[in-house]
Structure 1
Amino acid sequence: MKNIVRPIAPDNLAAPGGHYSHATVANGFVFVSGQLPIAPGGGKLTEASFEEQTRQVLDNVKVALVAAGSGIDRLVQVRVYLDAIENWPAFNTLYAEWAGDARPARAIVPTGPLHFGFKVEVEAVALA
Protein backbone atom coordinates (compact mmCIF):
# COMPACT_ATOMS: atom_id res chain seq x y z
CA MET A 1 0.00 0.00 0.00
CA LYS A 2 1.37 3.39 -0.98
CA ASN A 3 1.78 5.94 1.82
CA ILE A 4 0.01 9.22 1.21
CA VAL A 5 1.50 12.58 2.14
CA ARG A 6 -1.20 15.20 2.60
CA PRO A 7 -0.17 18.88 2.47
CA ILE A 8 -1.84 21.27 4.91
CA ALA A 9 -2.51 24.89 3.88
CA PRO A 10 -4.50 26.68 6.61
CA ASP A 11 -6.54 29.64 5.39
CA ASN A 12 -5.63 31.56 8.55
CA LEU A 13 -1.86 31.52 7.89
CA ALA A 14 -0.04 33.64 5.33
CA ALA A 15 0.80 31.74 2.15
CA PRO A 16 4.19 30.01 2.29
CA GLY A 17 7.04 32.14 0.98
CA GLY A 18 8.58 29.25 -0.94
CA HIS A 19 7.94 25.82 -2.40
CA TYR A 20 6.65 24.06 0.74
CA SER A 21 3.53 23.42 2.81
CA HIS A 22 2.96 24.81 6.29
CA ALA A 23 2.53 21.19 7.38
CA THR A 24 2.19 17.71 5.98
CA VAL A 25 0.49 14.64 7.37
CA ALA A 26 2.03 11.21 6.75
CA ASN A 27 1.90 7.84 8.51
CA GLY A 28 0.03 9.22 11.53
CA PHE A 29 2.37 12.17 12.06
CA VAL A 30 2.11 15.90 11.42
CA PHE A 31 5.27 17.66 10.30
CA VAL A 32 5.08 21.44 10.77
CA SER A 33 7.47 23.49 8.66
CA GLY A 34 9.55 26.15 10.35
CA GLN A 35 7.14 28.91 11.32
CA LEU A 36 8.31 32.51 11.34
CA PRO A 37 6.76 35.58 12.97
CA ILE A 38 4.48 36.37 10.06
CA ALA A 39 0.91 37.45 10.80
CA PRO A 40 -2.02 35.72 9.07
CA GLY A 41 -2.36 38.63 6.63
CA GLY A 42 1.28 38.30 5.60
CA GLY A 43 2.77 41.10 7.69
CA LYS A 44 6.32 40.33 8.76
CA LEU A 45 6.91 41.19 12.43
CA THR A 46 10.56 42.04 11.82
CA GLU A 47 10.51 45.11 14.07
CA ALA A 48 8.43 43.48 16.82
CA SER A 49 9.92 42.53 20.18
CA PHE A 50 11.26 39.04 20.73
CA GLU A 51 8.20 38.27 22.86
CA GLU A 52 5.77 39.42 20.16
CA GLN A 53 7.63 37.43 17.52
CA THR A 54 7.60 34.34 19.72
CA ARG A 55 3.86 34.59 20.41
CA GLN A 56 3.15 34.87 16.67
CA VAL A 57 5.38 31.91 15.83
CA LEU A 58 3.76 29.72 18.49
CA ASP A 59 0.30 30.81 17.30
CA ASN A 60 1.30 29.82 13.76
CA VAL A 61 2.48 26.39 14.93
CA LYS A 62 -0.82 25.84 16.75
CA VAL A 63 -2.85 26.88 13.69
CA ALA A 64 -0.91 24.43 11.51
CA LEU A 65 -1.36 21.63 14.05
CA VAL A 66 -5.10 22.19 14.39
CA ALA A 67 -5.56 22.41 10.60
CA ALA A 68 -3.86 19.01 10.36
CA GLY A 69 -6.22 17.50 12.95
CA SER A 70 -3.69 17.60 15.78
CA GLY A 71 -2.88 19.93 18.65
CA ILE A 72 -0.30 21.06 21.17
CA ASP A 73 -1.12 18.10 23.41
CA ARG A 74 -0.04 15.73 20.58
CA LEU A 75 3.41 17.26 20.02
CA VAL A 76 6.28 14.77 19.83
CA GLN A 77 9.25 17.04 19.05
CA VAL A 78 9.87 20.76 18.72
CA ARG A 79 12.92 22.46 17.23
CA VAL A 80 13.55 26.11 18.04
CA TYR A 81 15.95 28.39 16.21
CA LEU A 82 16.95 31.58 18.04
CA ASP A 83 18.96 34.48 16.70
CA ALA A 84 20.77 34.68 20.06
CA ILE A 85 21.02 32.26 22.98
CA GLU A 86 20.32 35.23 25.29
CA ASN A 87 16.70 34.95 24.13
CA TRP A 88 16.40 31.41 25.52
CA PRO A 89 14.99 32.36 28.98
CA ALA A 90 12.26 34.55 27.47
CA PHE A 91 11.43 31.88 24.90
CA ASN A 92 11.28 29.17 27.55
CA THR A 93 8.80 31.18 29.65
CA LEU A 94 6.47 31.89 26.71
CA TYR A 95 6.79 28.32 25.42
CA ALA A 96 5.88 26.84 28.83
CA GLU A 97 2.74 29.01 28.95
CA TRP A 98 1.82 27.98 25.39
CA ALA A 99 2.58 24.26 25.77
CA GLY A 100 0.88 23.83 29.15
CA ASP A 101 1.12 20.21 30.26
CA ALA A 102 2.67 19.07 26.96
CA ARG A 103 6.36 18.26 27.27
CA PRO A 104 7.57 17.08 23.86
CA ALA A 105 11.23 16.50 23.13
CA ARG A 106 12.80 19.84 22.24
CA ALA A 107 15.98 21.32 20.83
CA ILE A 108 17.08 24.95 21.05
CA VAL A 109 19.52 26.01 18.33
CA PRO A 110 21.21 29.42 18.45
CA THR A 111 21.71 30.39 14.81
CA GLY A 112 22.65 34.04 14.51
CA PRO A 113 20.47 36.17 12.22
CA LEU A 114 17.42 34.46 10.73
CA HIS A 115 15.65 35.22 7.44
CA PHE A 116 14.26 38.79 7.21
CA GLY A 117 16.06 39.61 10.49
CA PHE A 118 13.59 37.54 12.53
CA LYS A 119 14.56 36.45 16.03
CA VAL A 120 12.83 33.04 16.26
CA GLU A 121 11.63 30.12 14.13
CA VAL A 122 9.91 26.93 15.34
CA GLU A 123 9.25 23.60 13.60
CA ALA A 124 7.48 20.62 15.11
CA VAL A 125 6.38 17.00 14.78
CA ALA A 126 3.14 15.76 16.33
CA LEU A 127 0.78 12.82 16.20
CA ALA A 128 -2.05 13.32 13.74
Structure 2
Amino acid sequence: MNKKLINPPELFDGAVYGMSQATIETQSGLVFLSGQIDSQRQSETKQSVEGQMRKALANLTIALENAGSSIDKLLQVRIYIRGEFGEYLEALTPILANFFGESRPAMTGIGVASLASPEILVEVEAIAFC
Protein backbone atom coordinates (compact mmCIF):
# COMPACT_ATOMS: atom_id res chain seq x y z
CA MET A 1 0.00 0.00 0.00
CA ASN A 2 1.20 3.47 -0.90
CA LYS A 3 -0.41 6.63 0.30
CA LYS A 4 -0.29 10.28 -0.60
CA LEU A 5 -0.99 12.96 1.99
CA ILE A 6 -3.11 15.96 0.99
CA ASN A 7 -2.90 19.20 2.99
CA PRO A 8 -4.27 22.18 1.03
CA PRO A 9 -2.87 25.52 2.20
CA GLU A 10 -6.43 26.92 2.41
CA LEU A 11 -7.33 24.45 5.16
CA PHE A 12 -6.22 23.99 8.74
CA ASP A 13 -2.72 22.55 9.04
CA GLY A 14 -3.21 19.47 11.18
CA ALA A 15 0.43 18.34 11.10
CA VAL A 16 0.89 19.31 14.75
CA TYR A 17 -1.88 16.80 15.55
CA GLY A 18 -0.39 14.13 13.28
CA MET A 19 -3.16 14.33 10.68
CA SER A 20 -3.71 15.22 7.04
CA GLN A 21 -6.83 16.70 5.48
CA ALA A 22 -6.99 13.76 3.08
CA THR A 23 -5.10 10.58 2.34
CA ILE A 24 -5.11 8.83 -1.01
CA GLU A 25 -4.44 5.11 -1.22
CA THR A 26 -2.61 5.29 -4.53
CA GLN A 27 -3.22 1.76 -5.80
CA SER A 28 -7.00 1.84 -5.45
CA GLY A 29 -7.45 5.59 -5.85
CA LEU A 30 -9.58 5.78 -2.70
CA VAL A 31 -9.56 9.15 -0.97
CA PHE A 32 -10.20 9.32 2.78
CA LEU A 33 -11.14 12.83 3.88
CA SER A 34 -10.71 14.01 7.45
CA GLY A 35 -13.67 15.59 9.17
CA GLN A 36 -14.18 19.07 7.75
CA ILE A 37 -15.43 21.82 10.01
CA ASP A 38 -16.05 25.55 9.81
CA SER A 39 -12.42 26.25 10.51
CA GLN A 40 -10.52 29.08 8.99
CA ARG A 41 -6.86 29.68 9.61
CA GLN A 42 -7.80 31.93 12.55
CA SER A 43 -10.23 29.31 13.93
CA GLU A 44 -13.24 31.59 13.46
CA THR A 45 -16.60 29.85 13.48
CA LYS A 46 -20.16 30.73 12.61
CA GLN A 47 -22.76 30.33 15.32
CA SER A 48 -25.41 28.35 13.41
CA VAL A 49 -25.50 24.71 12.35
CA GLU A 50 -26.57 25.80 8.86
CA GLY A 51 -23.69 28.28 8.53
CA GLN A 52 -21.17 25.78 9.79
CA MET A 53 -22.54 23.11 7.43
CA ARG A 54 -22.08 25.38 4.42
CA LYS A 55 -18.46 26.14 5.41
CA ALA A 56 -17.67 22.48 6.20
CA LEU A 57 -18.99 21.49 2.76
CA ALA A 58 -16.92 24.23 1.12
CA ASN A 59 -13.84 22.89 2.93
CA LEU A 60 -14.75 19.35 1.84
CA THR A 61 -14.76 20.60 -1.77
CA ILE A 62 -11.29 22.11 -1.31
CA ALA A 63 -9.93 18.85 0.12
CA LEU A 64 -11.57 16.80 -2.66
CA GLU A 65 -10.21 18.99 -5.44
CA ASN A 66 -6.69 18.98 -3.97
CA ALA A 67 -6.87 15.17 -3.90
CA GLY A 68 -7.82 15.08 -7.60
CA SER A 69 -11.41 14.17 -6.82
CA SER A 70 -14.79 15.92 -6.80
CA ILE A 71 -18.27 15.90 -5.32
CA ASP A 72 -19.33 13.55 -8.13
CA LYS A 73 -16.77 10.99 -6.93
CA LEU A 74 -17.97 10.87 -3.32
CA LEU A 75 -18.84 7.37 -2.14
CA GLN A 76 -19.73 7.90 1.52
CA VAL A 77 -20.33 10.90 3.75
CA ARG A 78 -20.73 11.05 7.53
CA ILE A 79 -22.20 14.17 9.10
CA TYR A 80 -21.74 14.76 12.81
CA ILE A 81 -23.97 17.33 14.51
CA ARG A 82 -23.63 18.45 18.11
CA GLY A 83 -26.97 17.45 19.64
CA GLU A 84 -29.89 15.57 18.15
CA PHE A 85 -29.35 15.23 14.38
CA GLY A 86 -33.08 15.04 13.65
CA GLU A 87 -33.66 18.50 15.11
CA TYR A 88 -31.65 20.00 12.23
CA LEU A 89 -32.73 17.72 9.39
CA GLU A 90 -35.38 20.05 7.98
CA ALA A 91 -32.98 23.01 7.84
CA LEU A 92 -30.07 20.95 6.47
CA THR A 93 -31.95 18.99 3.81
CA PRO A 94 -31.97 21.78 1.16
CA ILE A 95 -28.31 22.60 1.86
CA LEU A 96 -27.27 18.95 1.44
CA ALA A 97 -29.51 18.30 -1.58
CA ASN A 98 -28.15 21.39 -3.34
CA PHE A 99 -24.52 20.54 -2.52
CA PHE A 100 -24.58 16.86 -3.47
CA GLY A 101 -26.97 17.18 -6.41
CA GLU A 102 -27.03 14.05 -8.54
CA SER A 103 -23.91 12.61 -6.84
CA ARG A 104 -26.08 11.24 -4.00
CA PRO A 105 -23.37 9.41 -1.99
CA ALA A 106 -24.19 7.02 0.82
CA MET A 107 -24.74 9.25 3.85
CA THR A 108 -25.03 8.88 7.60
CA GLY A 109 -26.14 11.60 10.03
CA ILE A 110 -24.96 11.23 13.61
CA GLY A 111 -25.83 13.32 16.66
CA VAL A 112 -22.92 13.64 19.08
CA ALA A 113 -22.31 15.11 22.53
CA SER A 114 -19.11 16.90 21.53
CA LEU A 115 -16.71 17.64 18.70
CA ALA A 116 -13.15 19.04 18.69
CA SER A 117 -14.13 22.22 20.54
CA PRO A 118 -17.31 23.69 22.06
CA GLU A 119 -17.67 26.15 19.14
CA ILE A 120 -17.81 23.39 16.53
CA LEU A 121 -21.36 22.28 15.79
CA VAL A 122 -20.82 20.35 12.52
CA GLU A 123 -18.18 17.99 11.13
CA VAL A 124 -18.30 16.24 7.73
CA GLU A 125 -16.02 13.36 6.75
CA ALA A 126 -16.05 11.38 3.53
CA ILE A 127 -14.63 8.68 1.30
CA ALA A 128 -14.26 9.28 -2.43
CA PHE A 129 -12.20 8.05 -5.35
CA CYS A 130 -9.82 9.85 -7.71
Q: Same fold (TM over 0.5)?
A: yes
Aligned identity (percent) is 35
AA paired with 2:111?
Answer: P
CA distance in 1, matches of 2:117, 2:93: 23
AA paired with 2:63?
Answer: A
Greater than 6 Å deviation, 4+ residue runs:
none
1:108-123 matches, cutoff 5 A = 108-117=109-118, 118-123=120-125
Q: Secondary structure at the match of 1:24?
A: strand
User: How far does the alpha carbon of each residue in 1:11-40 deviate from its partner, in whole angstroms, 9 at most, with x for none?
Assistant: 11121262110000002111001111102x
Aligned to 1:11: 9
Q: Does 1:104 align with 2:105?
A: yes
CA distance in 2, matches of 1:82, 1:93: 16
Give how far 1:101 is off.
Answer: 1.1
After TM superposition, the score normalised by the length of structure 1 is 0.90
Larger deviation, residues 93-102 vs 21-30: 93-102
How many residue pairs end up in the alignment?
A: 124
Give how far 1:97 is off.
Answer: 1.0
After TM superposition, the score normalised by the length of structure 2 is 0.88
Unpaired segments ≥5 residues, structure 1: none
